[in-house]
Structure 1
Amino acid sequence: MKIYTWESLKEFQQRDCKQKLIVIEGKVYDVTKFMHKHPGGAKLLGAYAGEDATDAWVALHNDKELVENRPARISDAYASWPSRPLVRAAAVLHQVPAPVLGIRVGRCAAAMAVRPAHLDCTASGPAAVHRQAQAGWAQHDYGHLSVFNSRRLNHIGHELVVGHMKGASSHWWNFRHFLHHSKPNVVGADPDINVPYLFLLGDKMPQEWGKRRRGFMPYNWQHDYFWLLGPPMLLPLYFHYENIYFIFKRGDWRDFVWTLSFFLKFFFYVFNHFFPSWLATFGFYICLCATWIALVFVACTQMSHIPMDIDRDQRREPPECRRRLINDWFTGHLNYQIEHHLFPTMPRHSYPLVQPHVKQLCARHGIPYVEKPLSTALADIIRSLKKSGELWLEAYQMPG
């Protein structure tokens, strides 16, 4: 078997390289054929071509014996690439008995979110909003394989909840969300920060776009128009467009049927029972059922990522800031962003239980564990957008 050095693996990082090799625990795997069958999408594996994917593999797979032999192992790496200390140390917590950390706690609660009453997401007013939000947290549990021990049962549950109860493609969610977990805040890989035609984030991208005169938005005002174009457009408009585009581009007709079943059920029932027109029904869906998720998405994820370093691919620690913004119920426990990124397969109800152990790990490795109130978190995201906009304007105005 050929022995690869890290230097020789760099050629496989090129986009035009047809062969895709990744390294997991010092072993080199050829994923060229397997990547198109990967449940997390081909792009996820392609993002690790020529790199060490051990940290992401450990964090995202709770059935390692089943998945480790799917791609073809072809070699060993000459020298191991040191893993990030916090991620590596956190992996040890998975070995602690479940009753201690409550790793299995919350599975029943997640399954209860799909009791028959919640399958009917057609109630009016606050009840409908509440059920839609809870269905969103439930699909997140199924998508992360944290409800059942069976991977297949989790996938079936995810298709049912995200498709029939939320009106979205399960494969679209998987491909998008797992890329975010694998490459957080990495330009060109993390879809959650891939919004350059509306917002420029971080310190480096605004300067690059400014020098090249790219984009068409007044980015120096982006901190002002964020609340107009950010949360209101995210889920109601952009996510719906991206979801429909994904389904038809891939010809994923099973997800199309699930999605169609939601909209037929929701609109025909609500229109016939509560509203005098289709326009009013649509307004109810956009303004109420989509707004909660959009607000939590911004509150729990964007406020934990936008103020941090955003750059091209680097080896970095997971999000260092946890914002306990409103309460665990409203955010579906996704206010525990460090815990969620370290343990994506852990049921979300277990994050408060594992948090003290993560704090100890951070202190041991000298990594800041930051907790911020809502007001500070909101101010941080606005300050970050304002700073990025100023960097863009300064670069844009520089002569030739």
Structure 2
Amino acid sequence: MNPYVKFKPATRNHFFSTLKKRVDNYFIANNISKTADTSMVIKTIILLSGYILPFVFILIFNPSFIISTLLWALMGFSIAGIGMSVMHDANHGSYSNSKWVNTILGNTLTLIGGSVDNWKVQHNLLHHTFTNIVHEDDDISDKFVLRFSPHTKVKWFHKYQYIYAFFFYGLQTIYWVFVKDFLQFQRYVIKGEAKWVTFTKLLLSKLIYIFVMLVMPIVFFNVSILNLMIGFFVMHFVAGLILTVIFQLAHTVEGTTHPLPNEKNEITNDWAIHQMNTTVDFAPKNKLLSWYIGGLNFQVEHHLFTKICHIHYPAISKIVQQTAAEFDVPYLVNEKFSDALMAHVNALKRFGKEENPKLTA
């Protein structure tokens, strides 16, 4: 992260201050909290049960290969749901007004093999501050054979990435569990005594996760090694594919921008306008999708108001859209999931062949 990248002071006749006041008034007028309600608690129980209960069933009943694999797939589906609907809100501090509740539910990420400390740096700090700014937002950094920015070097195989990208998306959570967190630790954590405390916590959480998921079933419950390995892979492939696709549909799509800092290391827009240019909503009328993915189809609202629980996004989206129109600010949306998916595929195609003149001169 470059600490000197800055945004210009608020412009467009105080768009964001006006929007924030209107959103705040919405909660005051309706006498509702910005955090979770009973429906969120029910959803949390459902998604956590979808992850834990199938695993318990596998351990106790040691079902056939087909049943076992289906249960692992259900666990992967639930992992993605937990990540998007529970962990995400909690680690933004928007699940509850209680810090300890957010901490406990935020650590559901540890339960599924990730590091909360790394995630908060990558997502809360880098991604939400420097959205779609190359070398600042880790979410759009080049990843092995994938290119998500027009400002990095294009390689010959990138022209095929729209074909093979989805396979690599499925590997993301496996990579996250075994490799990514350790690489991020080296980049994110400040040197000193606290570094080793953080590393110890990271290492212990990984060892416990590996023991519970891969050692305990074989040693104590006689689960077939082959069934376990295939099931574990299926679980993570399902989770990785869903998580990566959903997050990509908000930023790496046609219509969003990838601005570069000017000679003063400054982005030419203020932060709120930058978010409106780099973020897109999708399938806003699909209530079932919105329930499962934690309102991440309302990414514009989420990026502007990270401290508001996602259950409120559909309501405040109307305020955001109206205010954006008044101030002549872009409000990007793909009305259908299929439209968003195609916009992402088209972006992958463009990034796969579009050269940055500065890199080819």
TM range (shorter): 0.7 to 0.9
Q: Is the 8 A contact 2:76 2:234 kept in 1?
A: no
1:309 matched to 2:237 = no
In structure 2, relative to structure 1, the CA distance for the partners of 1:366 and 1:244 (3 Å cut) is same
Deviation for aligned residue 1:322: 0.9
Quick one: which of 104, 107, 112 aligns to 2:34?
104
> In the alignment, what sits opposite 2:336?
373
Number of residue-to-residue matches in the alignment: 313
> In the alignment, what sits opposite 1:167?
113
Deviation for aligned residue 1:109: 4.2
- List per-residue Cα deviations over 1:44-76 (Å, max 9, x = no partner): xx53x3735xxxxxxxxxxxxxxxxxxxxxxxx
Q: Is the 8 A contact 1:146 1:347 kept in 2?
A: yes
- List per-residue Cα deviations over 1:165-222 (Å, max 9, x = no partner): 212111011011111111110111111101164233344x15xx25xxxxx5522222
Q: Distance in 2 between matches of 1:386 and 1:190?
A: 21
Quick one: which of 169, 178, 182 aligns to 1:244?
182
User: Larger % of helix: which?
Assistant: 2
1:227 matched to 2:160 = no
Letter of the 2:117 counterpart: H
Alpha carbon RMSD of aligned pairs, Å?
A: 3.3
Quick one: which of 290, 295, 303 aligns to 1:328?
290
Quick one: which of 6, 10, 14 aligns to 1:82?
10
Deviates more, 1:357-366 or 1:282-291: 282-291
- TM-score w.r.t. the length of structure 1 is 0.67
> In the alignment, what sits opposite 1:296?
243
Q: Is the 8 A contact 2:301 2:320 kept in 1?
A: yes
> In the alignment, what sits opposite 1:51?
6
Quick one: which of 231, 234, 251 aligns to 1:284?
231
In structure 2, relative to structure 1, the CA distance for the partners of 1:357 and 1:394 (3 Å cut) is closer
In structure 2, relative to structure 1, the CA distance for the partners of 1:146 and 1:130 (3 Å cut) is same
Letter of the 1:336 counterpart: F
Q: Any stretches of 5+ residues in structure 1 without a counterpart?
A: 1-42, 53-79, 211-215
> In the alignment, what sits opposite 1:95?
24
Deviation for aligned residue 1:302: 0.9
- List per-residue Cα deviations over 1:71-108 (Å, max 9, x = no partner): xxxxxxxxx82346543333224522356385435344
In structure 2, relative to structure 1, the CA distance for the partners of 1:351 and 1:114 (3 Å cut) is same
Letter of the 1:223 counterpart: Y
> In the alignment, what sits opposite 1:361?
323
- TM-score w.r.t. the length of structure 2 is 0.74
- Pairwise mapping of residues 203-214 of structure 1 onto structure 2 (< 5 A)? 203=150, 205-206=151-152, 209=153
- Higher RCO (CA 8 Å, separation ≥ 6 residues): 2
Q: Is the 8 A contact 1:101 1:350 kept in 2?
A: no
1:144 matched to 2:99 = no
Deviation for aligned residue 1:340: 1.0
- List per-residue Cα deviations over 1:352-372 (Å, max 9, x = no partner): 222221121122122343233
Same amino acid, percent of matched pairs: 17
Q: Distance in 2 between matches of 1:217 and 1:309?
A: 24
Deviation for aligned residue 1:341: 0.8
Letter of the 2:309 counterpart: P
Q: Distance in 1 between matches of 2:82 and 2:217?
A: 18
Deviation for aligned residue 1:273: 4.7
- List per-residue Cα deviations over 1:117-153 (Å, max 9, x = no partner): 5783624505534542343221112101112323354
Letter of the 1:390 counterpart: K
Q: Distance in 1 between matches of 2:52 and 2:223?
A: 18
> In the alignment, what sits opposite 1:10?
none
Q: Is the 8 A contact 1:320 1:368 kept in 2?
A: no
Q: Any stretches of 5+ residues in structure 2 without a counterpart?
A: 59-70, 190-194, 262-266
- List per-residue Cα deviations over 1:270-299 (Å, max 9, x = no partner): 44558411x43233122224523532331x
Q: Is the 8 A contact 1:102 1:353 kept in 2?
A: no
Q: Distance in 1 between matches of 2:164 and 2:80?
A: 26
> In the alignment, what sits opposite 2:313?
351
> In the alignment, what sits opposite 2:64?
none
Q: Distance in 2 between matches of 1:187 and 1:395?
A: 14
3-state DSSP of counterpart to 1:391 = coil
In structure 2, relative to structure 1, the CA distance for the partners of 1:217 and 1:362 (3 Å cut) is same
Quick one: which of 38, 46, 52 aligns to 1:120?
52
In structure 2, relative to structure 1, the CA distance for the partners of 1:110 and 1:162 (3 Å cut) is farther
3-state DSSP of counterpart to 2:171 = helix
Q: Distance in 1 between matches of 2:137 and 2:102?
A: 24
> In the alignment, what sits opposite 1:58?
none
